[in-house]
Each structure stands twice: as structure tokens, then as C-alpha cells.
Structure 1
Amino acid sequence: SIIGANIHDWGGKNFMKANEGASDGMPTKKYFVVEACEYRDSFLNIEPNSIVVTNTDPDHLDYFETEENYFASFKKFLTKLPQFGSFISFLQGENIMKILPENFHPRKYGAENSIDEVPTLQVLGSFQKLNAACAIEAAKALKISEKDAIASLEKYKGLARRFDIVAKVGNITIINDYAHHPTSLKMAIHSAREYVKANKLKKLWVVFQPHQYSRTRSFESKFITVFKEADEVLIPNIFESRDTQDDILKFDIQEFVTKIEADMTYVEKKRSNVWGRGPKKRGQIFYKKQARFTNGFENTLKILDDYAYDGDVVLVIGAGDVHKISEAFIDSKS
């Protein structure tokens, strides 16, 4: 198996060789599992027998240019399934019909059917339950016993940077996540808010580093609406990757952050349970939700050091190097 993130159950590796999982009672030589990506049509190099699609929200428009091209790439991928193959996904999903080829004969498995079968998971996040439902349906398609599938999910400890609680500094909880698309970002923030509520914690900080100027521009209107459940948003910079100079010059990060705060403030005005605290040096003051462009990691760390209190949760999120903020914050408190 080859996965795009380090897996805690595999000793922090992102791969497992044949026979390494034999002690878990799961087949090891019969299947080869790979996490595939659609960017540059790279998944078209794979010859699959089964395909699990967890998300069909358009992305990588720097390559695909249009949503139609994005969906067309998925159609090409699904046509590679043999007639005896299996397609597993949430079949009621908004974009599913846009990616299914005509005369699609492989057997379809709807993950909706397994939601109620998902056991209590060790990993946090509402999206984890959706992924687990897909895993159960994939096990059914491969004739793996439901008992073994459920047992495996119950033991699953999660991935690095996938709603990964990396430390509790004093009584401040630090969570790393890799989300960099509006849909996954919204789900991660919602999961963090649920974590705050369930544990009777206090303030939810979101330290978000957008990945690519081009992606942030393409989905700006969606990005600015996903922070409603956060109390504080800090954006240190945008991680450059495959960006042109034109991409960079055409995007105003301060204006982007101002739009985020306007959306957050609007929601806050409708809430009656507004509470807050000021910096340690100034004692208690009331606050409103806010978003800030911090212009670098150092400034971000200073704000967290001055304003984050015991009982707060800090969600550090993005696909770039933003996890270094988590590491530096933890080190500064050690």
C-alpha cells in the first residue's frame, strides 16, 4: 500500500510492504492499495480493479482550467475499470452524475449504505466517518468480512496532518490538518468546533495558510465563507506552488482577509453568547470574531503567545509548511 500521508499505525510511514500487516488478520499479498491524485491526470496511469472516490469537488484549476475538464478527467479514470470492477462512493453526491461515464457497467457501491455500520472511531472529525463508510463498502466489494473491516477501523489511529492532535501545551490543544480546498477546510473547522463543544473548551483559533495563489483566486468566494465556526483566523502567508508572477500580482491577500472577517463578524452579530478575553498583559476585554493577515510565521507565533489561553484550541491547517508554526509554538512552551 502507498498512501499520500504518514500513517500512525504503520510507524509513521506512508507505505506497507507485503506481509507487514499479516498479524492484523488482513490479507496482505492479494491487494495493492494506492492513494491516487487527479492533478495532471496522473491517476490515468493506474489500471484499477476497484476505485473509491471520496470527493468530487473541482480542484487544480491551474491545470484543468474548467470544471468541465475536471469532471471529464474523472470520467476517463472510471472508464479504466473492467466490467467486473467496483466503484465505491457516496452515490447521492452532488457531482457523481458528472463523473460517471455513459454505459457504466462496473458494480456501484453506495457508501450511504454503511454510515450506520461505522463503529466508534479513535480518530476525530466528522469526515472520518464518511471515509470509514467508504472503507466498509470497499471491504464488501472485495469480499473482506464485515467483522474484519469493523475491527480494523476500530484500531485505526489516523494519519499525520489529518485532524491530527499533535500536542497539548499547558491546556492549549494543537491540531494539524492538511486541508487546502474550501470543502475540506470547512469540514475540518466544523470538526474542530465539535471538538471544542464536546470537551467544553473555549476559543477556536484557525491558523490557515492557503496553498497556491491560483487556487485561492479560483475559489476565493468559497474560501471566505468557510470560517464561520472559528473565533480567530490568522493567515501568515500564501504558500507558493506552481504559481506564476501574474497569479501572485493579481491577488490581494489583505483584501481576502478583510472579506473573511466581514463574513465572520456578520455571523457573530446574530449570536447572543459572545464572550472573549484580551491579551494577558491587558486583562479581560470583550472581543468580536476577527481575521488577521499576520505577514509571516514570527508574527503569528507572537499573537498566539499573547492571546491564546488555557482551554483554547489551535487548528493549524494547510498543505504547505504551516505545520512549522505548530512545531515552533510547542517548542516555545516546552
Structure 2
Amino acid sequence: MSEVPVLDPAQRDAVRSAVLAAAVTPQKRADLVKAAKAVVTAKKDKEKKAVAEGVIDEMIQAGELHKQSAAATAPIGITKPPLKNDPEKVRAALLASAETPQTLAKLITAAVAATKADKAFVTDEANKLISSEQLHKHSTAAKPPYGAKKKEAPHALDIAPGKAAFAGLLKAAKKVTNVAPGVSLDEVIQRLRAALANEVARPVPVVAAPPPVAPPLAHPEPAPVAAPITPEQIRSGLRAAYDELCLFPEFEDKLVEIRRLYHTAARLLPGLTVPQFHHELEHLQGLRQLELHSLNEVQQAKEPELAIRHNDRLLYYVMWGK
């Protein structure tokens, strides 16, 4: 930070005011220096520049001025730059795109373009929306479209058996109009509606019910106890969860985060504990069916308690063998 020559309070306030006025719209540093020099009373240009540079550095240090990006020549303004990875904006962009159901990859691409956020961050937010049932799968395809609304169930007359029954009714109605050409379609529909209403309104004979008999005393049965998950079930569930996650674009390289594997496996295997999860992963690694990889930047780990600590390493990723 440049050292500011000794200034009287009035001179310093004038320089600060000039800089703040210029930085309302983010400016290059050189332009802010020029605005500051205009109010410095020193005679030499070198002294004016030293004063301007020093005051600007002090204001940046104090949080009164803000660089608008990490670039060395980034503009400087009085407002903080917008947050790049803003979860609210990213989720809003994803849901807006999902008004028209489309694949997860296309939703992520659209949200990245709209928000300029990092693709990895957008992908993570998209998966959170799926987990919280705010994005809904619209098919069972390998790469299904996702929509902001649940896929509506088809009308009962558009699927079996209603579809075939309605087709038969339509055929019968056409036959009526053919054999009775003087009868309009409206009259056919009107008579059909009246006949159906008459069928519905026809009283049903009432059969006297026998007097009630007190039921025998029943002994409450003990609640069934859920069977424990076997190791074979866990290993099968882990592979199914891994295959499901590999369908996401972020895991196309087949290197899956262990924490994400646990959450997906726990959904497929209710009651799965973290110790069981860790034990079976290490067992499968011993059988050379999969590989566990460590995370170099441990401080960046999300949910580290779901990863596996081995000596001084944090095993954070899993890759299944072919």
C-alpha cells in the first residue's frame, strides 16, 4: 500500500470526496487517481500522484472502495461486486428453465449462461433441487428430462382400459348417426346423457343388515422388526447408487464423491449407517472391485464426516472397476 504524505484534514477529506464521487460508477484505478489529483494542492505532479495513490489504497483497505473482480486491472467502485455463485439466483434460473422440461445437462448449461456462476456450483444446486423435490423427473430414460412441476398423470380415457372403451363408444355413436340420419349428434349426446343419469338414479334394493355382533377380543400383535441389511444387500445397493450418480454430467469421469454416494445409497437402503457404509467400501477396495481416492485440499471437503480417514489422508472419492 502506498504511503500517504502528511495532509491536513480538509485536504484529505477533499481527496476522499473526489474519489468517492468518481467511483460511483466503477472506474479504472488510473481514472480514480486522475480525479483525486485534481483536488490535491501540491505543486509537483509526483507529489499529487503519491497523495492520490495513498488515499485510494487506504480506502480499499478500509472497505470503502471495492475491486470488481480478481483481475489486476479490475475496475474499482464504491459497491461490492455481485456474488458470482449466488444460490438464490442459480436456483431461480434452474427452475425458470425447467418450466419446459429438459435434461439436467441442458438445465445446467442454461443456468450457467444466465448467472455466470461456476458449472460445478450450478450442478450442486441442481442436485439439491432434485433431492428436495423441486425438480421432478419426467421419464425413466437414462438421461430423463426434469421439470419444475410434476408430470401430470394421463387422462383415464387416454390410456387402457378407458381408451379402448371410449373408442367403442365413439364407434357406436357413429353407427347411430348412420342408421338414423335425421338425428343430430347433439340429440344423440343428450339422450345418452339422460340414459346414463337414469341408470345412476335408479334405486338399489336395500337388504336389511343382520344385527351387529360384537367381534371377539383381539390380542395386539407386536410390531414387526425390520430385518437388518446384509453385507450383500449393501454392496449391491452401493453399486446401484454409484451407477445412478454416474448418469450426472459432473460424474461423467466416474470419480464420485463418497458423501454423495452415501446419500444416494441411504435412499435405496433405509437404515444404512455410516460405519456400515465405510466398512463395505473398504471391503470392496480390498477385493479390488473399486478404488478410494484422497482429497488433496482437505479444507475444501464437504461433509468430511462421510469420507474415510486413513492415516493422514482423507479418502473422498470412489471409482468402481469395470
Which TM-score tier does this pair reach, normalised by the shorter chain? Answer: under 0.3
Q: TM-score, normalised by structure 1?
A: 0.20
Whose strand proportion is higher, 1 or 2? 1
Larger-Rg structure: 2
Q: TM-score, normalised by structure 2?
A: 0.20
